[in-house]
Amino acid sequence: MSDASLGPALRGAVDLSSLRNRPAAPQGQAPDSQTAVGSAPDVVMEVTDQTFSQVLELSRQVPVVVDLWATWCEPCKQLSPIIEKVAREMQGRVVLATVDIDRNPQIQQAFQAQSIPLVVALLGGRPVPLFTGAVPEQQVREVFAQLLEVAAQQGVTGTISVGDQPADDAPAEEPPLPPLHQEAFDAIQRGDNQAAINAYEKALTENPRDEQASAGLAQVRLLQRIEGADLQAARQAAADAPGDVDAQMLAADLDIAGGHVDDAFARLLDLFAATFGDERTPIKDRLVELFGLIGASDPRVMQARTRLTSLLF
């Protein structure tokens, strides 16, 4: 089984050298099967730009799964708990590192995360692509099983010992999703973005103030628009045609998917300022949709909304 069998989640080469601030551990014999490599407070850890080098070193002994997410990403909210559940069931044979890309741009850039959720494994400091987007629990389990096989082939077979978690500290069970939200999530899991859009639109028809449905709808529409898009080609097209509304909006969508929220808003606001008449309408509508995706209370949204208002009046 090769690394490629785990799925093409990354595009292009991934250079993690900028995140390594410590020398590599000395090379030695491959660890024996299920070798204990130490203990840790938990097999799930929140990782930052400053602590990622520790994860890289740990991956030389035990497989590390990196979950790149953001607070505004609706599919992330569905996928991350599944990944955590499966990782905990591995009983220390896998460590899960969670990364908020908005707060850790260095890691986001190193993995060239063009859309999230993005899940990548680290084996011996090297990235192994797993999957992007929301996937069903069964697929997560299958991919983790394949990861352990690949890790064994590379001699990365250590385990982390974790103390029993006190009952009082047990995570609270997530409340069930509203029926239409669950319908949308199920559609996302099976790759039917249009069905998810229909479910979210129905939820908004029933309750126009359903902010979660609004954000979910914006997220799925974004995923649908950027599906199959090439980041470099889109940026080049936007650079070659500054006045091309479609080209600029696609580039902005890809910026949002990659976590470059300020860049996306600035691009669309500059485009709005340079256009007139009916050409402004789709730009304004796209901005309003993205505002809902990121969240009305986000400072970046408030700043962009203020500028949009000034341009309108």
Question: Domain residues for 238?
Answer: 179-312
Q: Tell me what pLDDT residue 3 has.
A: 38
* Pairing assessment for the beta strands 35-40 and 95-100 based on DSSP bridges: unpaired
Which stretch of DSSP H or E encloses residue 118? Answer: strand 118-123
Q: Tell me what pLDDT residue 13 has.
A: 29
Residue 65 lies in a domain: yes
Q: Tell me what pLDDT residue 311 has.
A: 92
Domain boundary among 141, 167, 193: 167
d(CA 59, CA 65): 9
Tell whether the torsion through CA atoms of 267, 273, 276 and 282 is positive or negative. Answer: positive
pLDDT in tens, 122-167: 888 888 888 877 888 888 888 888 888 888 877 888 888 765 444 4
Whether residue 305 is found in the same domain as residue 214: yes
Residue of 251, 240, 17, 244 whose CA lies nearest to 114: 251
Question: pTM for this structure?
Answer: 0.50
Whether residue 162 is found in the same domain as residue 183: no
CATH code: domain of residue 65? 3.40.30.10
**CA-CA-CA-CA torsion for 229, 231, 236, 239, nearest 10 degrees?**
100
Q: Tell me what pLDDT residue 106 has.
A: 85
- pLDDT < 70 regions, the chain: 1-41, 162-174
Q: Tell me what pLDDT residue 285 has.
A: 94
Count how many domains the chain has.
2
Q: Tell me what pLDDT residue 40 has.
A: 61
Radius of gyration of the chain (CA): 21
Residues involved in catalysis: 73, 76
Q: Tell me what pLDDT residue 105 has.
A: 84
Whether residue 84 is found in the same domain as residue 153: yes
Residue 7 lies in a domain: yes
